[in-house]
Amino acid sequence: MGLMRTITGPSDLKRLSAHQVDLLAQEIRDYLIDSVSRTGGHLGPNLGVVELTIALHRVFDSPRDTLLFDTGHIGYVHKLLTGRHDFSGLRKEGGLSGYPSRSESDHDVIENSHASTSLSWAIGIASGRKLRGETDRHTVAVIGDGALTGGMAWEALNNIAEQRDLPLVIVINDNERSYAATRGGMADYLASLRATPEYENVLSWGKRQLHRTPVVGRQVYETLHGMKKGLKDIVSPQGMFEDLGLKYLGPVDGHDVEAMETALRRAHDFGGVVLVHAITEKGHGYDPATADEADRFHAVGKINPETGLPLELSGRSWTDEASDELVRLARERDDIVALTASMLIPVGLQPFAERFPDRVFDVGIAEQHAVTMAAGLSYAGLHPVVCVYATFLNRAFDQLLMDCALHRQGVTLMLDRAGVTGTDGASHNGMWDLRLLALVPGVRVAAPRDAEQVARALREAVAVEDGPTVLRFPKGTVAAPIEAVRTFGEVDVLRDLPADPQSPDDRFDLLLVGLGPMAATALEVADKLWAEGRRVMVVDPRWVLPVSPDLVDLARGARAVAVVEDGLTGGIADRVAQALDEAGLDVPVHAYGLPHSFLAHGSREQVLERVGLTAGSVATSLAAHLV
């Protein structure tokens, strides 16, 4: 940390010579490899923006000029250049966030990691400052890692094209990838812009002919010069951006600080909206991250920095279980297709894509489009399975409600990373889905408690053809199997009451409902309450929406009901209370879930402890209620 130690803020960068800048870039790259290999985090994306971020801070004056990073996982270099040098606690409780964080620095603005938002933020900030007379402050949006495949970015560009006098710079961080290779028309278009500007070579040939045969050569050269724009659009067709009225600069080598500074300085001085097209390489400077398996370096756990191999081997994940079952189902049924929003590998669809390449659709970072496209696939006679993180369902709620549920289309949503995900922080916790899904008429929602139940629930979900079904499961290693002691209709009884023939009509103290992975927590709670003399039955309804009549019937024998869920408190508990009320049962329902607040990063266990969603806390609370 020789040079880097001297960089306490962006102003320190401006005094460095070109040679020192190159040394700093290598120092930062070495530091990222060393530190992120110890903590885990987004390694590949940040290695790809080292020089780009240095150039940004040398040209612009943050925080007076606002730098916006889309998506925020490319913010590590920005953190280092704004004085945050201690990465030892990265993504850990009390340490640095893995994304920009306003609580950490005035240089950070967009905290969430939901892609394709930066251009809307940018025009909002720039327009607001114009109205306040602050036209000498620039707004810079860095958008890459596939974020231009998101429809929201194009909605913003459409609006930006009408306000071209704003001091707004858009930097396309074009590395051809999101998690994996970026796909679609926009990706193809950017690829065409990366072409060598061969039209200049053609003009050079014309000039040579001019000297050799002046008359013919002059005609050739003038003709070619007149065709220059057409040739340029064919070989390097940035015309789409220019046709929108946006000044286009590039393509520029994003790993050449001097070239980037030159382009950014021109953009800074232009006096209106400018788009700078930077070509970068994800994982640049680190051989393992640019090799054939580069996709796994998008986000890493603890790794050996020399080899790039993981130091901690985890067991089977919830994603693995769902992935394997989906492939099995697709072998049995040729109508099953799969969709994802630029997350083929993270949601476990790679094996499906390898086995059935024509039956998988990666639509880019476009969850809204994915869900409505699924409705169309369903109408065409197929059964689509949409695989996304639970936190990204938020973006497609209207499409689930109006395109799938209203039209009763047989679409299955597979929500990965449901509940507390922990280290990725507030925007990635999949804690909103149950509350949102409870608003959708006719939706069926399953929350499996272990691997066997994942396979069982997915198989049942794709059998439904008259409306949407949802399967949700958490991040990480799959839970140990929990066998039901018996079934009551659709409900699995996990802890039963001992037979007591002397008091068959006596109501027991508590019906404890554990949803998904919280079934294990519910069993621990029951053990604690039984030790205090409470008679507790533990059940897993498996299908949590709609509320099963069998669950209502079980509640008839209880003095109270408690629901433990890893979503917002009351997401399912409120529906259980409503079902009991509609059945004429006067039974109190105690709800235990996540608070209605944004949860700071930490491990899953730390977050659950912090919010009181542990067996000890729930048992203590229930003991006080069951008096």
Instruction: Name the catalytic one among 129, 395, 417, 495.
Output: 395
Q: How confident is the model at residue 286 (pLDDT cuts 50, 70, 90)?
A: confident
Look at residue 23 in the predicted model and tell me its pLDDT: 95
282 is catalytic: yes
* Domain co-membership, 509 together with 447: no
* Domain co-membership, 541 together with 578: yes
In Å, how far are 251, 253, 576, 592, 623 from 573, measured between CA atoms? Answer: 54, 55, 5, 8, 18
559 is catalytic: no
Say if 225 falls within a structural domain. Answer: no
Measured between alpha carbons, how far is 594 from 598 in angstroms, rounded to an integer?
A: 10
CB-based burial, 97-134: b 16+ in 10 Å, e otherwise: bbbbbeebbebbbbbbbbbbbbbbbbbebbbebbeeee
Query: Between the CA atoms of 318, 88, 101 and 288, what dihedral angle is there, to the nearest 10 degrees?
Result: -60
Under DSSP, the state recorded for 300 is B
Q: pLDDT tens digits, residue range 513-544?
A: 999 999 999 999 999 999 999 999 999 999 99
How many C-alpha atoms does 522 have within 13 Å on its Cβ side?
Answer: 32
State the CATH number of the domain containing residue 359.
3.40.50.970
Measured between alpha carbons, how far is 48 from 254 in angstroms, rounded to an integer?
A: 8
395 is catalytic: yes
Say which residues have a Cβ less than 8 Å from residue 624's Cβ, sequence separation at least 6.
none
- Average pLDDT in the 547-552 region? 97
- Structure-block tokens of residue 466: 């008259």
* Domain co-membership, 464 together with 541: no
pLDDT at 197 over 50: no
Say if 219 falls within a structural domain. Answer: no
Q: Which of 472, 503, 522 is the last residue of a domain?
A: 472
* Domain co-membership, 440 together with 490: no
* Domain co-membership, 511 together with 399: no
Q: Which residue has the higher pLDDT, 237 or 33?
A: 33
| Annotated binding-site residue? 179 | no
| Annotated binding-site residue? 268 | no
* Domain co-membership, 407 together with 518: no
Contact between 433 and 565 (Cβ < 8 Å)? no
User: Per mean pLDDT, which range of 218-227, 322-331, 504-513 is the poorest?
Assistant: 218-227
Measured between alpha carbons, how far is 44 from 439 in angstroms, rounded to an integer?
A: 39
Measured between alpha carbons, how far is 33 from 46 in angstroms, rounded to an integer?
A: 10
* Domain co-membership, 247 together with 383: no
Instruction: Name the catalytic one among 92, 177, 247, 282.
Output: 282
- Average pLDDT in the 307-314 region? 70
Contact between 111 and 100 (Cβ < 8 Å)? yes
Q: Which of 449, 472, 495 is the last residue of a domain?
A: 472
pLDDT at 199 over 50: no
What's the domain range around 361? 318-472
Measured between alpha carbons, how far is 136 from 133 in angstroms, rounded to an integer?
A: 8
Look at residue 82 in the predicted model and tell me its pLDDT: 96
Among 13, 104, 11, which Cα is nearest to 64's?
11
Say if 274 falls within a structural domain. Answer: yes
What percent of the chain has a predicted confidence (pLDDT) above 70?
Answer: 87
Q: Which of 450, 472, 494 is the last residue of a domain?
A: 472
Look at residue 177 in the predicted model and tell me its pLDDT: 60
Say if 310 falls within a structural domain. Answer: no
State the CATH number of the domain containing residue 495.
3.40.50.920
Measured between alpha carbons, how far is 148 from 70 in angstroms, rounded to an integer?
A: 10
| Annotated binding-site residue? 175 | yes
Residue ranges of the alpha helices (H) in 532-572?
549-555
* Domain co-membership, 425 together with 538: no
Look at residue 293 in the predicted model and tell me its pLDDT: 58
Q: Edge to edge, what strands does the sheet with 66-70 contain?
A: 66-70, 139-144, 168-174, 274-279, 247-253
| Annotated binding-site residue? 199 | no
- Average pLDDT in the 215-232 region? 50
| Annotated binding-site residue? 113 | yes
Look at residue 181 in the predicted model and tell me its pLDDT: 56
Total number of domains in the chain: 3
Look at residue 202 in the predicted model and tell me its pLDDT: 45
| Annotated binding-site residue? 370 | no
Measured between alpha carbons, how far is 274 from 129 in angstroms, rounded to an integer?
A: 17
| Annotated binding-site residue? 147 | yes
* Domain co-membership, 149 together with 74: yes
pLDDT at 229 over 50: no
| Annotated binding-site residue? 429 | no
| Annotated binding-site residue? 107 | no
Say if 211 falls within a structural domain. Answer: no
Q: pLDDT tens digits, residue range 96-130?
A: 998 899 999 999 999 877 889 999 999 999 999 99
Say which residues have a Cβ less than 8 Å from residue 318's Cβ, sequence separation at least 6.
416, 451, 454, 473, 474, 475, 476, 477, 478
* Domain co-membership, 381 together with 515: no
Say if 228 falls within a structural domain. Answer: no
| Annotated binding-site residue? 317 | no
Beta bridge partners of 514: 564
Look at residue 492 in the predicted model and tell me its pLDDT: 98
DSSP string, 188-225: HHHHHHTS--HHHHHHHHHHHHHHHSHHHHHHHHHHHH
Instruction: Name the catalytic one among 367, 444, 475, 495.
Output: 367
Look at residue 221 in the predicted model and tell me its pLDDT: 47
* Domain co-membership, 150 together with 114: yes
**Which H or E run contains 591?**
strand 589-594
User: Per mean pLDDT, which range of 6-10, 173-177, 571-575, 599-603 is the poorest?
Assistant: 173-177
Say if 324 falls within a structural domain. Answer: yes
Contact between 113 and 71 (Cβ < 8 Å)? yes
Say if 216 falls within a structural domain. Answer: no
Beta bridge partners of 181: 177
Q: Give the CA angle between residues 17, 22, 28 to the nearest 5°.
A: 120
Q: How confident is the model at residue 551 (pLDDT cuts 50, 70, 90)?
A: very high
* Domain co-membership, 279 together with 407: no
Measured between alpha carbons, how far is 75 from 427 in angstroms, rounded to an integer?
A: 15
